[in-house]
Structure 1
Amino acid sequence: MDAFKLLTRSTKLKTSSNNPAGNQSSTLPSTGKASNPQLFRNQAVLDDVNQGRKRKRGDGGSSVREYEGRNGVEEVDDASVDFFSSGNTSAGTVQKGNKKKDEDKEDSGNEDGEENGDGEGDMDDIQCRTILNSHKIKVSDLRDFEEIHPHVNTVQTEEPKRKKKKKEKKSQPQPEETQLSKKEQKKARRLFPRPLGSFKELRSRYKISRRLAENIAEQGFTVPTEVQLGSLPLLLGEETIGQKTTEGNSNGQPDLLVVAPTGSGKTLAFLIPVINNIVKWHHEGTEERGIFSIVIAPTKELAGQIVNEGRKLVAGSGVKITMMKKGMRVVEHDQNGDADVMDERSDKSESESDSEEEGKKNRSKAPVTKSDILVTTPLMLVNALSANRTKSMATLPLVRNLVLDEADVLLDPLFREQTLDIWRSCVHPNLRVSLWSATMGSNIEDLTKSTIKERNDTSGITKSNPLYRLVVGLKDSAIPNINHKLIYAGSEQGKLLGLRQLLHPTAGPSTDVRLRPPFLIFTQTIPRAVALHSELRYDIPPEAGGSSRIAVLHSDLSDSQRSEIMKGFRKGEIWILVTTDLLARGVDFRGINGVVNYDIPNSAAVYVHRVGRTGRAGREGGIAVTYYTKEDIPYVKSIANIIDVSEKARGKTGDKSVQKWLLDALPDLKKRDKKELKKHGVKARQSTVKNAKDEEQHRKTRISTKSGYERRMENKKKGAISASKARKTRQMEDDGEGSDSSWGGLDD
């Protein structure tokens, strides 16, 4: 028995929030990995579960009661009612137990399992509920209530029907009352899967591939984050307390919607089950080889990151993961489609037909990919499935896992049709779908349910798969381990001045914001990103690397340029990266010290994703700075509300970034204006200019340090130079016309 471990098991060391200036670097995200990747946990509750104690109702200080928050009714512990609490619970709240029993548990317990309040043994209902609630994990069944509990309605309606028969003689028949209230239905939908205590349990309990378990250990993963703790048991076929996930499900896996904070490890959570399933199918002796799983991401940068992480996990397992590229063939197209194409071009010239025939032959020479996992963007896969412009898309009969990363964007109007086309092309009867994001509205849930129902009706499937939703923390909220700063800059010149003060904190007036490279700067449009990069490229002194330390990244750049910039930023050669919302989602830069919203985000969800580029995996010290001007005031309130909720969850009681008077003074935005803002951003900063009024507004909001007088003088100078050149050109033309065009030779 380790005496030191026994003495310190209920003691949680914490660093002082008021670090001296000299030790400030130790709290920066770039200093290294976080010691604990979990954002929410109550150590006192986990210690009780680890020591075999059951928290019963009525026990002093440890009763379980219902808490009605933003996400509905949840069962939480009285000691941790505050969501997103730091977990620093007093050791005095831990109940005293049998010392002999505690020592036996200490000697035989698993270290990783103990730290998460979970060992290799079986857990009962109360223990599972306690651990999930302490980590702010909520699992619900989204199917129709009659499908989940088919016998509840008959039991509940017998007595009311008998009462109605007596009253029918005196009064008219009334509509049947609801048997369960919404609150009771939410409670009945709750599920409590056995949580994952440590990554070692993946091999010992869930029997995943030995090689996959070794790859996970080699990457240094020991303690699962909240989203991994709750989702991996579901995706690996774990039974839930109160309801079996295997009911009506051939392989023990449900369809799943996951809402978890940014940087919480969602990529690892969906890759492990996908890879493990493919290894099982290979071992079953399946002769067919092809695409078994598809992962869809909204950007190439995120898709490349998923492939890089996947290759680390599939090393030596025989599973192949590939990123979709131009010209890649994923299916064999039938001959009917080719015949249609030949008929369409029958009126063309022979040369055009020959060239197209040659191009078609070259494309057909490329073999169909045999990759097990295909990671792609929506449009690229849709183009590959509808090659030769056939009327109908090709199908993917082998795909059994479809993963939508950043699902709220993929099912947004921008990508919705493309994503749904891919979804419908996966025709395997045992297809499992999982949707992952840090923000997911109710419209996404409704669209998912309707798409699954439509697919089942088309395929003739009578018994649908379970559809679960897993929420970590508060839904659609920013992580609590970063500091938010909302700064009023007045005008575009004020924002540029404030940004330069972040780059040179000693040159300007004293401020409490200290942002060290590396960090990201987000703008609304591509032209604004290019203009801001031009303004800042010489702000870094030559001794520190000069203009090579600042770069701009946007979708107008070529794939090779985007790849080189991303590589330089990850290596640390680039310190400051100016970008658009291209990098707002999913991309993981370890050690980012902060995020600057030079232009306010188009929505609250975009703000959550932007600031989530820092504070990854539970790291402390990240800063999110947001500037707003007079034109932005109507659009600030939704962002201010998110900052206020995040600071309350963090337990910040001193000088807050958003005061109550500011929240009360900011105007509410109408629903129509929210839609317009989400589509086009702030009108004053739109790149399109339609009339003279827009042109004048565009001039006021351009990114430049020059005054209007300086710009007018420069324009006059440019006009004078161009006019002088034009006069010289005309004079040369006149002189040429006046002289003889032929040469008479030399005189004798």
Structure 2
Amino acid sequence: MDSLRLLSRSTNISRSKQRDSSHSLPSTGDARQPGLFSRGESPATTQNASRKRKRGANNGAASTDDGPMDFFASKHRTVTVTPPSTRRSLPTASREEHPTARSSNEAEIVRPGEPLLSLHERKAVLKDHKLKVTWVNPVSQPSKDRRKSKDGQKSTKALSQLSPRPLESFAALATRFSAPKKLMANITEQDFEVPTEVQMGALPLLLDPASTFSTDALDMEDHTIDTADGINLLTVAPTGSGKTLAFLIPLLHRLLVEKRGEARTEHRTSTIILAPTRELASQTVNEARKLARNSGLRITQMRKGMRFAAMGHKTDGTNDTAEEKDDSISIVKADIIVSTPGLLESALSHADNAGGLHHVRDLVLDEADVLLDPLFRDQTLKIWTSLSNPALRVSLWSATMGSNIEQLATATIAARRKLLSEQLGVAVPEAPLIRLVVGLKDSAVPNVQHKLTYAATEQGKLLGLRQLLNPATSAVGSDPSLRPPFLVFTQTIERAVALHAELLYDIPAEAGGIDRIAVLHADLSDTSRDSVMTRFRKGDIWVLITTDLLSRGVDFRGVNGVVNYDIPTSSAAYVHRIGRTGRAGRTGGIAVTLYSKEDIPYLKHVANVVAMSAKQEGKGAGIEQWLLDALPTLSKNEKQSLKKRGIESRTATGKQKDPKAARKSAISSKSGYDRRLENKRKGAIAGSQRMGQPGAISDAGEDSDFAGFD
């Protein structure tokens, strides 16, 4: 079934234009070259790409059959494998090539065991992939450092820049880092071959920092780093670049090695992964279970009612207390726990529960800037400081990371180390804190087309969204149009529900009608949220209206676009919203931001991100300079207020302060006059209903026959 053919009936759009418009959509595009940044192609690759395809060969294009549409179905494709050094990387959750495609080209893959790269070569590779590795907390300065500043003093900045040896092939995990066979089998089963930029830089740092921090990697002769217990890592990488796999592989690698060495059978929690939303936590658990299949490791998502075993408690059930035998209480028996901060803090608040986490060795903060934001900060820091293992290592991951978050993380690590040293009476050694940045820090994904559309009023925004929904009223030109499936973001839950009610019948019945559009927000039950997520991933839902609940980390491979019906409250929010499309380097994604006259004072942070993204992609300014100059710049207090409350007239508080402005901001296709008549009628009906109640005061007079509206 062709969605565009159904949605554009009675139009003059030709089939050729329809096919052209869907050629490079993220839901149908080829993911064989999904690297975020350009890399050089080998001559063999260029020659193979220019060859004429045989008739009937499978070229990876989307099927034009009239069968059921499945935007997110796996498409088996055969690809030509080129050497890792000349091929773009493939992201974590997007590899769709056929597993057997590797066998015929096995000899082309550069296997581990190749000569070690020199310092110059490592720097060239890191620069080519736009990787920057920085040592945040250098412990000391080498005595023989001959690098001096202009005033003759020794410079400490020479220590900050690192050039570790990158990982250019997943096959190198087996011999270079002695990865367990079960882990390698699961990686191979998912058809991961070449790491993405963030995986290329992060995996060596986490798997074997001792070999990564060699003397020539630091460009020093007599400086050593104590990495016996690992490092703390702060990673900033674009959305959809494969951060989840980058932190899961080292965790599973260490657990499998420890389990093999200790020959233990019980599940002892040694890793905690925190995520801001339940949807992101569930996605992380699913990805971890794929990598840990048949390994004996247990990964559990924290849910209500779960508790931790007390210190010294055996997990075989031989010494369960009466409370633990209660059916309503579940004792966590897992190697890795994935949770939101609120649920984990609630479990730790019970007596003796904190003792069950004294073995925790790794703490992962996924979307760390949100977890350390005021909304989750107290809960996250309480969990962090309650972990008593002196060898605890922390890694922070996000697409946006402000300097304040980095400073807070550094201060928390130092304060916790000092507290443990006082409690144990022994100085706890300081671990290196390394920062890994991919591309430009806090920038939008470069392979998405950005559009800023002025709609003047709230009714204009609704009309603009309807035009995006209906290609029959959209001009067919050089710019690609927005095609389903796509996400629509609103500022509040109330506005998401209202917008869903307005658009419920905009999709024709022939195309699925009301079943093709849905709303997702935090007020829905867990079962309803899971159902909506499943239907959207299957392709049953084409338009999903939501809040910022889904703007963080959730991976939808086939989302063709994102519509910001309400402008995001910060530049970071914009980066994460539009990051739901263009995943894994897929091109053709569109990000449309509708803004009204009321939004103009708050639009500059969005325009700046768009301009930076275009600059990173080499497309010029990306936005007219006159618009950047004309948009007002917010003060620091105004930015904080916008980030905390959004546009005030669209909130419940704004309705009380300025009812007139709130009425103008209401999502409705009715005019103000029609809404006033409707409100008067509702008031009259409510008044007539009160007339029949005991003690009600009537204004109609004793001789009136008025008995209210039917």
Which residue in the other structure is 2:153 paired with? 179
**3-state SS, counterpart of residue 31 of structure 1:** coil
1:124 shift after superposition: 1.2
The whole-number CA distance in structure 2 between the counterparts of 1:732 and 1:260 is 65
Equivalence for 1:315: 293
Q: 1:482 to 1:186 in 2, by over 3 A?
A: farther
Q: 1:110 & 1:458 partners in 2: Cα distance? A: 54
Contact 2:165 2:204 (8 Å CA) reproduced:
yes
2:233 maps to 256
Question: Residue 283 of structure 1 aligns to which amino acid in structure 2?
Answer: R
Q: In the aligned structure 2, how far is the partner of 1:548 from the partner of 1:365?
A: 36
Q: Give the corresponding residue for 2:454.
A: 488
In 1, Cα distance between equivalents of 2:462 and 2:328: 54
Q: Aligned-residue CA RMSD in angstroms?
A: 3.2
Q: How does 1:626-705 map to 2 (within 5 A)?
A: 626-653=593-620, 658-689=623-654, 691=656, 693-705=657-669
Matches within 5 A, 1:306-455: 306-332=284-310, 363=326, 366=329, 368-387=331-350, 394=355, 396-455=357-416
Q: CA deviation at 1:151?
A: 2.1
**Contact persistence 2:450–2:590 (CA under 8 A):** yes
Answer yes or no: is 1:569 the counterpart of 2:566: no
- The 3-state SS of whatever aligns with 2:471 is coil
Alpha-carbon distance in 2 for matches of 1:319, 1:296: 19
TM-score by length of 1: 0.76
Do 2:578 and 2:591's aligned partners in 1 also have CA atoms closer than 8 Å?
yes
Deviation at 1:397, TM superposition (A): 1.1
Report the Cα distance in structure 1 between the residues aligned to 2:676 and 2:566, rounded to whole angstroms.
26
- Aligned amino acid, residue 610 of structure 2: I
Alpha-carbon separation, structure 2, partners of 1:119 and 1:37:
27
In the alignment, which residue of structure 2 is the partner of 1:299? 277
Q: Of 255, 268, 277, which residue of structure 2 is paired with 1:290?
A: 268
Whole-Å Cα distance in 2 between the matches of residues 723 and 289 of structure 1?
Answer: 65
CA distance in 2, matches of 1:393, 1:313: 28
SS of 1:517's partner is coil
What is the distance in 2 between the residues matched to 1:583 and 1:538? 24
Residues 1:478 and 1:148: Cα distance change in structure 2 (over 3 Å): farther
1:223 aligns with 2:167: no
In the alignment, which residue of structure 2 is the partner of 1:239?
212
Distance 1:232 1:485 in 2: 36
Aligned to 1:3: none
* Secondary structure at 2:273 match in 1: strand
- TM-fit CA distance, 1:33: 5.0
Q: Spell out, residue by residue over 1:692-720, the C-alpha distance to the aligned partner (whole angstroms, 9 max, x if none).
A: x5111111100000011111222233334
One-letter amino acid matched to 2:121: Q
SS of the equivalent of 1:668 reads coil
Does the Cα contact within 8 Å between 1:631 and 1:684 map onto a contact in 2? Answer: no
Quote the Cα distance in structure 2 between the aligned partners of 1:629 and 1:479. Answer: 25
Note if contact 1:322-1:374 (Cα within 8 Å) is conserved in structure 2. Answer: yes
Query: Does the CA-based 8 Å contact 1:520-1:594 persist in structure 2?
Result: yes
Instruction: Mark the runs of 5 or more structure 1 residues left unpaired by the alignment.
Output: 1-18, 48-85, 89-107, 161-176, 336-357, 735-748
- 1:48-127 counterparts in 2 under 5 A? 111-113=108-110, 120-127=114-121
How far apart, in 2, do the equivalents of 1:242 and 1:731 lie?
Answer: 86
Bigger radius of gyration among the two? 1
Alpha carbons of 1:733 and 1:125: their partners in 2 closer, same or farther (altered >3 Å)?
closer
- Correspondence for 2:516: 549
SS at match of 1:403: strand
Would you say the 8 A contact 1:112–1:222 is kept in 2? no
- Counterpart secondary structure, 1:402: strand
- 1:524 counterpart SS class: coil
Give the secondary structure class of the aligned counterpart of 1:697.
helix
Q: Give 1:331 shift.
A: 3.0
Match of 2:159, as an amino acid? A
Cα pair distance change 1:152/1:596, threshold 3 Å: farther
Instruction: Quote how far apart the aligned CAs of 1:187 are.
Output: 4.7
Q: 1:187 to 1:133 in 2, by over 3 A?
A: farther
The yes-or-no answer on 1:467 pairing with 2:445 is no
Are residue 476 (structure 1) and residue 425 (structure 2) matched? Answer: no
Give 1:132's aligned residue. Answer: 126
Q: Which of 576, 589, 597 is 1:622 aligned to?
A: 589
CA contact (8 A) 2:305 2:330 kept: no
Measure, in 2, the Cα distance between the counterparts of 1:364 and 1:426.
28
Aligned-partner Cα distance in 2 for 1:334–1:319: 21
Identical pairs, percent: 52
Q: More helix per residue: 1 or 2?
A: 1
Contact 2:500 2:517 in 1 (8 A): yes
- Does the 8 Å contact 1:521/1:577 carry over to 2? yes
In the aligned structure 1, how far is the partner of 2:256 from the partner of 2:410? 29
Q: Output the amino acid matched with 2:270.
A: F
What is the distance in 2 between the residues matched to 1:220 and 1:661?
Answer: 47
Does the 8 A contact of 1:486 with 1:657 survive in 2? Answer: no
Provide TM-score, normalisation by structure 2. 0.80
Cα distance, 1:188 vs structure 2: 3.3
> 2:255 maps to what in 1?
278
1:207 aligns with 2:159: no
Cα 1:728–1:681, aligned 2, differ >3 Å: closer, same or farther? Answer: closer
Are 1:151 and 2:143 an aligned pair?
A: yes
Cα distance, 1:451 vs structure 2? 1.2
Structure 1 pair 572/377, CA: closer, same or farther in 2 (3 Å)?
A: same
Task: Report the Cα offset of residue 732 of structure 1.
Answer: 13
Mean alpha-carbon deviation: is it higher for 704-713 or for 393-402?
Answer: 393-402
Q: Which amino acid in structure 2 is aligned with residue 386 of structure 1? A: S
Q: Quick check: 1:502–1:513 contact (8 Å CA) kept in 2?
A: no
Task: Provide the rounded CA distance (Å) in 1 between the counterparts of 2:612 and 2:335.
Answer: 42
Label 1:442 to 1:721 Cα distance change in 2 as closer, same or farther (>3 A). closer
| Alpha-carbon distance, 1:528 to partner | 0.4
Distance 2:626 2:115 in 1: 53
In 1, the alpha carbon distance for the partners of 2:224 and 2:558 equals 41
- Structure 2 CA distance for aligned equivalents of residues 213 and 279 of structure 1: 12
Structure 1 contact 41–87 (Cα < 8 Å) conserved: no
Question: Could you say what secondary structure the match of 2:182 adopts?
Answer: helix
Q: Please say if 1:595 is aligned against 2:559.
A: no
Q: Structure 2: give runs of 5+ residues left out of the alignment.
A: 1-15, 45-85, 89-104, 314-320, 422-426, 699-710
Contact 1:41 1:136 (8 Å CA) reproduced: no
The structural deviation recorded for 1:617 is: 0.5
Q: Please state how far the C-alpha of 1:426 moved relative to its aligned partner.
A: 1.8
Q: Residues 667, 580 of structure 1: CA spacing in aligned structure 2 closer, same or farther, 3 A cutoff?
A: same
- Would the aligned equivalents of 1:290 and 1:369 in 2 still touch at CA under 8 Å? no
* Inter-CA distance 179–46: structure 2 relative to 1 (3 Å threshold): farther
3-state SS of paired residue (1:667): coil
- Cα–Cα, structure 1 residues 155 and 239, in superposed 2: closer, same or farther, change >3 Å? closer
Match of 1:93 in 2: none
Residues 420 and 45 from structure 1, CA distance in 2 versus in 1: closer, same or farther, beyond 3 angstroms? farther
Aligned partners of 1:248 and 1:189: how far apart in 2? 16
Name the counterpart of 1:609: 576
Deviation for aligned residue 1:561: 0.7
User: 8 Å contact 1:36–1:223 — kept in the other structure?
Assistant: no
- Compared with structure 1, are the counterparts of its residues 376 and 663 closer, same or farther at alpha carbon in structure 2 (3 Å cutoff)? same
Q: Which residue of structure 1 aligns with residue 502 of structure 2?
A: 535
Relative to structure 1, the CA distance from residue 257 to residue 727 in structure 2 (aligned partners, 3 Å threshold; closer, same or farther) is closer
2:682 to 702, 718, 725: 718
